Amino acid sequence: MTAYIGTPASRIDGRAKVTGEARYAADFNEQNLVYGAVVASTIPKGRIKHIDVSQALRVAGVLKVLTHQDRPQMAADDDAYKDDVAPEEGSPYRPLYDDKILFNGQPLALVLADDWETARFAATLVQVDYDAAPYVTDLQAQLSTAYVVPKPEKPRGDAAKAYAAAQVRHEAEYFIPTEYHNPMELFASTVHVDGAGKLTVYDKTQGVQNVQGYLSKIFAGSVQEFRVISPFVGGAFGAGLRPQYQVVLTVLGALALDRSVRLVLTRQQMYALGYRPATIERLALGANADGTLAAINHEAIAVTSQFEEFSRNDTGWSGLLYKSPNTKFVHKLVRLDVPTSSDMRAPGAATGVYALESAMDELAVALDIDPLELRLRCYSDRDQNENLPYTSKALHECYRQGADAFGWSQRNPKPRSMRDGADLVGWGMATGVWEALQMPVAARIVLTANGHAEVSCAASDIGTGTYTIVAQVAADKLGLPIENISVKLADSTLPQAPVEGGSWMAASASHAVASVADDIRDELLKLAKAVSGSPLAGAAGADVTLAGGRLVSRKDAGRAMSISDLMRHGGLDRMTKEKLNTFAQDHSHARNTHSAIYAEVKVDEQLGVIRVTRVVSAVAAGRILNPKTAGSQVMGSVVGGIGMALHEEAVYDHAFGRIMNANVAEYHMPVNADVHDIKVIFVDEPDDQVNPLGIKGVGEIGIVGVAAAIANAVYHATGKRVRDLPITLDKLKA
Amino acid sequence: MARATAREPVQDPIPIPEKISIQITVNGKATELKVAPWTTLLDALRDRLDLTGTKKGCDHGQCGACTVLVDGRRIVSCLTLAVMKDGAQIVTVEGLAKDGELHPVQQAFIDHDAFQCGYCTPGQICSAVGLLAEGKAKSADEIRELMSGNICRCGAYPNIVAAIQQAMGRS
């Protein structure tokens, strides 16, 4: 029975969010809180020769200044600093550990004071003497140092030879600059000292248990127990997957003073955290005259730090998506003196598929074939990399329904052929693809005799709607009204969950809840059987269901017993069940989500100003638990794609090895006036193979391909192909 | 470990600004507050009055997360020193619902799912309430333009516009 799953239920945490009751990491106040302020490096590489904190200490209200020379003890081995999602290769950065400077903006001191203003003022008085070293921050200037990192995708055939022999060829280089997540919430931690060696950490994170494990290792010698809580997260987009340095610094402050401490980073300081790496993508597509592919060559060159090797799969999507007998993929990294790059909104796919789908558009032009028609001719019903069937793939329907909603058939293929007054009008399209991942997650249900249930799990809700979908699944599985379900998330003491990322949480948490709800049902059935003359005497677990507050026979709805009666018979006020759900390892099928994106741009012919006036995103992602919250996820991802296409770029001054636009005014992001009509379509995609509930997840899929659709629309409008993002008017008019 | 309440007094201390007494009315409640001149209205609300609904997203007046209503007008509280608002009437997101009933803008934000993470939401809502009072915005394009001081990184803009249009219809 599904009363709630699949319905557009409003967020159960909506009221808390519109009234200001929702508390984020920096919102947990207490009396006599100490405030921290960070002193950050102004050079990208070298050593601290001398750090003078004496002036800062003179400021009334300053309690302590921590530096690498004066701080509580921390672990001395790399393993302690490797969080659950740290890159396998390398040595994680250790905040305030020693005198080495690895990147600009690295924290060098933490000023602790009675209030934030005093701490901030005193931080300006800390004097750092540097022993500066030569550094590199320019990807283009360091291409000769690029080295290959192995990726799982295997080559097929001979892509170089097939490309050389192809009837129609397209080869080009695309560029995605360094982009920042810029969640609206500043990275912050509040550490409450509870006494008895316990610290409660309110942290901005996508994974409380990841932070808990990380801190426990770093401070194994001094803290008996960490509890990490993060009930609300003000956006993260991947920035909160790894523990960030402010949480370590806040703990250090709390340990140094034995007092509760809060540290909120400034927006500028957040530009020394992770970022989407600047990436060069080289595509060489060879086609036959009939619009089928003969060769795909895809090479990506991305940025990582000098001390860790972060890379994601950029090129594999090209091998996966389209039929081609010959493929070759190369992934390279360039090490720069910058913080380690990180996951950001569909990491790898947002960049790699942007390039692939731009190249496919250019190939369509070269072939004189409609871009949608080209995708259909290259369509594959199998994962081309692994030669596996999909559990489901409704991309055809995405193409069709998206094209119908957009009016694609009305497109005049000629560039500069469509106009609206002084504006050139362009229509572009692209394909999106992501993985349907699923992870082990545990959930606990406490059912009370009055027909209420509390569902809890350590998973985070970073705005994605986890609270709401967990309540929906629990309500359906327990046969209770959704108002009777309360949900507790993002506390490290709750049942196991991984970081919230990769679009895996909807499927993973839903199945955890469904699975433990079955245990509740079975326990209730045991109680039912113990009642003399039970109407459910001969029933097995699969024969009964929970509905309308009762345990009911599936065959005969007349045979039922109320939950409250059963629990009274059993002498129970409450029933608690907890279970870890794992998914069967089935490698016989590929599991992916897909999308088709259609975009309209209007470009002022004289000024080159670009507006994205319409976007249709048709998504195939299995069963959609909540079209309202899932629709918001995809809509928001489209907005992220608009930013990627037209606005976002961290601008380096390589003379200082520093980002010049480290704020949210000069790092351009879409604002309300930049966003117009966005239509999200969820294509029906029944899938009983991907997992029992048929859920694939929608977090990442929404952004993949969006930048390409817009770039392709800009080309169609203007006849000018801009291959380095963002597409700004200066590039258009150049 | 000894609990550090304060450090030993230092020789030749660098003074910090003295606190000044101000009277403000916050969400209908008359409040006397002693604040240093360098304290922003945002930090005073959050750190001194425990009104943490108002958020800090940039501290530079660039993002709008800290928007509150001062004498009925929407302002960014991070660019406003608290002492400048002595005698002012201040309404924050916590003061919009009356007797447990949500303000029409708050309800419309829930109805239209005009947020995801919720962090920019208090600022968006206060800004929208201010926008309605200004009476300037009529069309969707005008709403978009006049709400562009409030960044939503989750990208809920179309839903924010729809929510404001719903609230306009009701008020």
**Any idea what DSSP says for residue A491?**
B
Per-residue pLDDT of chain B (171 residues; tens, 9 = 90+): 445 555 677 788 999 999 999 999 999 999 999 999 999 999 999 999 999 999 999 999 999 999 999 999 999 999 999 999 999 999 999 999 999 999 999 999 999 999 999 999 999 999 999 999 999 999 999 999 999 999 999 999 999 999 999 999 965
Decide which of B95, B120, B154 is a domain's last residue: B95
Residues of chain B with Cβ-Cβ distance to A115 below 8 Å are: 36, 39, 47
Please tell me whether residues B24 and B91 are part of one structural domain. yes
DSSP symbols for B12-31: SPBP-PPPEEEEEEETTEEE
Q: How far apart are CA A606 and CA A423, in angstroms?
A: 9
Instruction: Answer whether A656 touches B (CB < 8 Å).
Output: no
Strands B89-91 and B20-26, bridge-based pairing: parallel
Q: Is residue B118 part of a domain?
A: yes
Residue A39, domain CATH: 3.90.1170.50
Cα torsion angle, A293, A297, A303, A304, sign: positive
Please tell me whether residues B31 and B68 are part of one structural domain. yes
Which residue, among B54, B154, B161, B165, would best test binding to A if mutated, counting the most A CBs under 10 Å from its CB?
A: B154
Please tell me whether residues A612 and A694 are part of one structural domain. yes
Contact present, A718 and A711 (Cβ < 8 Å): no
ipTM surpassing 0.85, yes or no? yes
Tokens of B51: 């009104």
Along chain A (734 residues), what's the average pLDDT of each consecutive run of 10 residues? 89 98 97 97 98 97 98 97 97 98 98 98 98 98 97 91 98 98 98 91 98 98 94 98 98 97 98 98 98 98 98 94 96 98 98 98 98 98 95 98 98 98 97 97 97 97 97 98 98 97 96 98 96 92 95 95 95 97 94 98 96 98 98 98 98 97 98 98 97 96 98 98 97 90
Please tell me whether residues A359 and A290 are part of one structural domain. yes
Please tell me whether residues A469 and A576 are part of one structural domain. yes
> Taking CB atoms and an 8 Å limit, are A632 and B122 in contact across chains?
no
Residues of chain A with Cβ-Cβ distance to B1 below 8 Å are: 258
Please tell me whether residues A396 and A525 are part of one structural domain. no
> Taking CB atoms and an 8 Å limit, are A234 and B119 in contact across chains?
yes
Instruction: Answer whether B100 touches A (CB < 8 Å).
Output: no
Q: Is residue A162 part of a domain?
A: no
Name the nearest CA neighbour of A704 among A249, A255, A344. Answer: A344
Please tell me whether residues A705 and A725 are part of one structural domain. yes
Tokens of A268: 């500028």
Decide which of B95, B115, B131 is a domain's last residue: B95
Three-state DSSP state, A275: coil
C-alpha distances in Å from residue A654, one per residue of A104, A301, A333, A598: 11, 19, 19, 37
> Which of A24, A29, A664 is facing B119, going by the closest CB pair?
A24
Q: Is residue A680 part of a domain?
A: yes
Any catalytic annotation for residue A435?
no
Three-state DSSP state, A442: strand
Residue A482, domain CATH: 3.30.365.10
Q: Is residue A163 part of a domain?
A: no
Structurally, chain A folds into a number of domains equal to 3
The pLDDT value recorded for residue A152 is: 80
Query: What letter represents residue A409's amino acid?
Result: S
What residues make up the domain containing A563?
Answer: 439-581
> Taking CB atoms and an 8 Å limit, are A115 and B12 in contact across chains?
no
Please tell me whether residues A422 and A346 are part of one structural domain. yes
Phi, psi at A424, each rounded to 5°: -85, 140
Residues of chain B with Cβ-Cβ distance to A629 below 8 Å are: 113, 116
List, as ranges, residues 178-197 from A with C-beta within 8 Å of B: 181-186
The pLDDT value recorded for residue B79 is: 98
Which of A523, A649, A685, A700 is an active site residue?
A700
Residue A23 has, within 13 A of its CA and on its CB side, a CA count of 15
C-alpha distances in Å from residue A430, one per residue of A353, A466, A537, A599, A675: 9, 29, 57, 9, 19
Instruction: Answer whether B60 touches A (CB < 8 Å).
Output: yes
Instruction: Answer whether A237 touches B (CB < 8 Å).
Output: yes
The pLDDT value recorded for residue B17 is: 96
Dihedral-angle region of residue A345 (phi above 0 means left; psi in -120 to 50 means alpha; beta otherwise): left
Residue length, chain B? Answer: 171
Residue A42 burial by CB count (10 A; 0-12/13-18/19+): exposed, middle or buried?
A: middle
Please tell me whether residues B81 and B115 are part of one structural domain. no
Dihedral-angle region of residue A502 (phi above 0 means left; psi in -120 to 50 means alpha; beta otherwise): left
pTM of model > 0.80: yes
The pLDDT value recorded for residue A167 is: 97
Residue B129, domain CATH: 1.10.150.120
Q: Is residue B6 part of a domain?
A: no
Decide which of A534, A557, A581 is a domain's last residue: A581
Contact present, B33 and B44 (Cβ < 8 Å): yes
Three-state DSSP state, A559: coil
Q: How far apart are CA A432 and CA A595, in angstroms?
A: 5
> Taking CB atoms and an 8 Å limit, are A19 and B96 in contact across chains?
yes
Measured in angstroms, the CA of B149 and the nearest CA of chain A are apart by: 8
List, as ranges, residues 662-681 from A with C-beta within 8 Å of B: 663-665, 669-678
Residue A240 has, within 13 A of its CA and on its CB side, a CA count of 33
Structurally, chain B folds into a number of domains equal to 2
- How many other CB atoms sit within 10 Å of the CB of residue A590? 21
Residues of chain A with Cβ-Cβ distance to B13 below 8 Å are: 58-60
C-alpha distances in Å from residue B43, one per residue of B35, B40, B55, B61, B124: 10, 5, 9, 14, 18
Contact present, A524 and A514 (Cβ < 8 Å): no
**Any idea what DSSP says for residue A450?**
T
Residues of chain B with Cβ-Cβ distance to A10 below 8 Å are: 110-111, 113
> Which residues touch A120 (CB under 8 Å, ≥6 apart)?
A37, A111
Tokens of A259: 């007092």
What residues make up the domain containing B78?
Answer: 20-95
Burial B51-75 (b: 16+ CB within 10 A, else e): bbbbbbbbbeebbbbbbbbbeeebb
Residues of chain B with Cβ-Cβ distance to A33 below 8 Å are: 47
Q: How far apart are CA A246 and CA A261, in angstroms?
A: 11
Q: How far apart are CA A478 and CA A521, in angstroms?
A: 8
Please tell me whether residues A39 and A70 are part of one structural domain. yes
Residue B35, domain CATH: 3.10.20.30
Dihedral-angle region of residue A291 (phi above 0 means left; psi in -120 to 50 means alpha; beta otherwise): left
Q: Is residue B3 part of a domain?
A: no
Please tell me whether residues A527 and A654 are part of one structural domain. no
Phi, psi at B83, each rounded to 5°: -65, -20
Decide which of B71, B95, B119 is a domain's last residue: B95
Measured in angstroms, the CA of A524 and the nearest CA of chain B are apart by: 36
The pLDDT value recorded for residue B1 is: 41
Please tell me whether residues B33 and B89 are part of one structural domain. yes
Residues of chain B with Cβ-Cβ distance to A26 below 8 Å are: 46, 52, 56
SS (H, E, C) A130-197: EEECCCCCCCHHHHHHCEECCCCCCCECCHHHHHHHCCEEEEEEEEECCECCCCCCCCEEEEEEEECC
Please tell me whether residues A622 and A498 are part of one structural domain. no
Q: Is residue A25 part of a domain?
A: yes
Q: Is residue A13 part of a domain?
A: no
Q: Is residue A4 part of a domain?
A: no
The pLDDT value recorded for residue A371 is: 98
Please tell me whether residues A197 and A318 are part of one structural domain. no
The pLDDT value recorded for residue B85 is: 98
Decide which of A566, A581, A596 is a domain's last residue: A581
- Provide Rg for chain B, Cα atoms: 18
Decide which of A563, A581, A599 is a domain's last residue: A581
The pLDDT value recorded for residue B170 is: 65
Chain A: residue whose CA lies nearest to B149 = A671
Q: Is residue B42 part of a domain?
A: yes
Please tell me whether residues A499 and A637 are part of one structural domain. no
Please tell me whether residues A310 and A339 are part of one structural domain. yes
Cβ contacts from A onto B, under 8 A: 221
Chain A: residue whose CA lies nearest to B63 = A664
Instruction: Answer whether B104 touches A (CB < 8 Å).
Output: no
